[in-house]
């Protein structure tokens, strides 16, 4: 069984990733990082360090139309709490598309 865990590099998703490793074994875990191409350099380093230490596979997903900067240019506005299209296009949709490529449980 493969367990997919969304891993942003933040403390909450890191706790979920650690718990999944403890519950199902690191060899069964796939950490999925949705890259907005707008993360701080330390975030990228942290994500790789954590998955290396836990021994889990890392999958990096990106929106096929480019990252955060391209999205802002295409939409001609900057996301805010009312307009969260960036979350949908850069994180939710790539994750859904990835999950739908799997035939596993």
pLDDT tens digits, 20-76: 999 999 999 999 999 998 889 999 999 999 999 999 999 999 988 876 666 766 666
DSSP code, position 82: S
Per-residue 3-state assignment (H helix, E strand, C coil) for 21-48: HHHHCHHHEEEEEEECCCCCHHHHHHHH
Under a CB-based contact definition with an 8 Å cutoff, are residues 79 and 85 in contact?
yes
Which residues neighbour 3 within 8 Å (Cβ) at sequence distance 6 or greater? 20, 24, 28, 29, 30
Q: Which of 25, 33, 26, 94 is nearest to 58 (CA)?
A: 33
pTM, rounded to two decimals: 0.84
């Amino acid at each position: 069984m493969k367990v997919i865990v969304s891993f942003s590099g933040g403390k909450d998703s890191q706790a979920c990733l650690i718990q999944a490793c403890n519950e199902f074994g690191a060899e069964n875990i796939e950490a999925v990082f949705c890259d907005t191409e707008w993360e701080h350099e330390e975030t990228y380093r942290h994500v790789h360090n954590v998955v290396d230490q836990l021994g889990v596979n890392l999958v990096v997903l990106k929106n096929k139309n480019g990252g955060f900067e391209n999205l802002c240019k295409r939409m001609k506005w900057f996301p805010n709490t009312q307009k969260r299209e960036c979350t949908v296009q850069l994180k939710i949709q790539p994750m859904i598309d990835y999950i739908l490529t799997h035939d596993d449980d």
